[in-house]
C-alpha cells in the first residue's frame, strides 16, 4: 500500500486533534514523527504542480531550520536532533533539485530559476538567523551549522545553474525571434533585374518570374 494512503488512513483514524497537537512538535517530541510523516506527508501529496510542490518543500526546509533554532534555545539540539533535522532537510533539498530539473525539462527555465533562487535565499536567511542567535542560545550550534553548510553550497550551485539555464533560454528565444523576423523579410522580398533577355523578377524564395 502506498505510503501516502497509509498516512491518510492514519490521519483519518487519529482525527484532527493529534494533527493540531503535532503542529508545534520539535525533534525529540513524541509527535514530531507524526508531524513529518503524516501531517507533512498528506500536505505534500495534495500539492499537485511541480512549482507548488517545490515551494512547499522550501517552506518545510525552512521549518526544519526554525526547529533547530528553537531546540538550540532550549538546550536540546543534541546530536540525535541534529541528525534528524539534517536528514529531513536534505530530503526536501533533493526534492527541490528534482523539481527544478523537471521544470527545466518542461521548458520552464525561468520558473525553475526563480524557485532555485528562493530556495537558496530561504536557507541562507534561516541559517544566518540561527547563527546570529548563537550567543543567546544554550547549545553550541557550530557543529550543526557545519553540517548544514553542504546543503547551502548545493543550493547555491543549483541556483547558479538554474539562472544560467534561464539566461540561455531567453537568449535562444530572442535569437529565434530575430531569425523568424529575418526569414519573414526574406520570404516577402523581391528584386528586379534587367538585361538583354528582358526583365527577371527574383522572389528571394528561389523562384523567378520572367517577363
Q: Considering just the CA atoms, what is the radius of gyration of the chain in Å?
A: 28
Nearest by Cα to 128 from 73, 76, 79, 62: 62
For residue 203, pLDDT beyond 50 = no
Distance CA 73, CA 140 (A): 10
Contact 118, 55 (CB under 8 A): yes
Contacts of 80 (CB under 8 A, 6+ apart): 27, 28
**How many percent of the chain have pLDDT more than 70?**
72
pLDDT digits (tens, 9 = 90+) for 21-46: 788 899 999 999 999 998 898 888 88
pTM score, whole prediction: 0.74
What are 101-142's pLDDT values in tens digits?
Answer: 999 999 999 999 999 999 999 999 999 999 988 777 777 899
* Phi, psi values for residue 194, rounded to 5°: -110, 155
More confident residue, 16 or 208: 16
Position 1 pLDDT exceeds 60:
no
Domain spans in the chain, listed from the N-terminal domain onward: 47-210
The sign of the dihedral angle between the CA atoms of 16, 21, 23, 25 is: negative
The whole-number pLDDT of residue 17 equals 58
More confident residue, 193 or 51: 51
Amino acid at each position: 500500500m502506498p505510503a501516502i494512503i497509509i498516512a491518510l488512513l492514519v490521519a483519518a483514524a487519529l482525527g484532527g486533534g493529534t494533527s493540531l497537537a503535532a503542529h508545534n512538535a520539535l525533534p525529540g517530541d513524541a509527535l514530531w514523527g507524526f508531524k513529518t510523516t503524516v501531517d507533512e506527508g498528506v500536505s505534500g501529496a495534495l500539492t499537485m504542480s511541480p512549482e507548488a510542490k517545490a515551494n512547499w518543500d522550501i517552506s518545510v526546509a525552512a521549518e526544519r531550520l526554525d526547529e533547530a533554532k528553537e531546540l538550540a534555545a532550549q538546550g536540546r539540539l543534541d546530536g540525535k536532533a541534529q541528525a534528524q533535522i539534517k536528514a529531513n532537510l536534505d530530503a526536501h533539498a533533493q526534492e527541490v533539485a528534482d523539481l527544478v530539473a523537471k521544470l527545466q525539462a518542461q521548458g520552464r527555465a525561468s520558473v525553475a530559476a526563480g524557485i532555485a533562487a528562493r530556495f537558496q535565499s530561504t536557507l541562507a536567511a534561516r541559517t544566518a538567523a540561527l547563527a546570529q542567535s548563537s550567543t543567546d542560545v544554550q547549545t553550541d550550534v557550530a557543529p550543526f551549522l557545519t553540517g548544514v553548510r553542504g546543503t547551502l553550497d548545493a543550493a547555491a550551485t543549483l541556483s547558479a545553474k538554474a539562472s544560467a539555464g534561464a539566461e540561455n533560454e531567453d537568449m535562444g528565444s530572442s535569437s529565434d525571434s530575430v531569425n523568424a523576423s529575418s526569414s519573414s523579410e526574406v520570404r516577402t522580398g523581391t528584386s528586379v533585374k534587367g538585361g538583354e533577355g528582358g526583365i527577371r523578377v527574383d522572389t528571394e524564395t528561389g523562384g523567378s518570374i520572367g517577363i
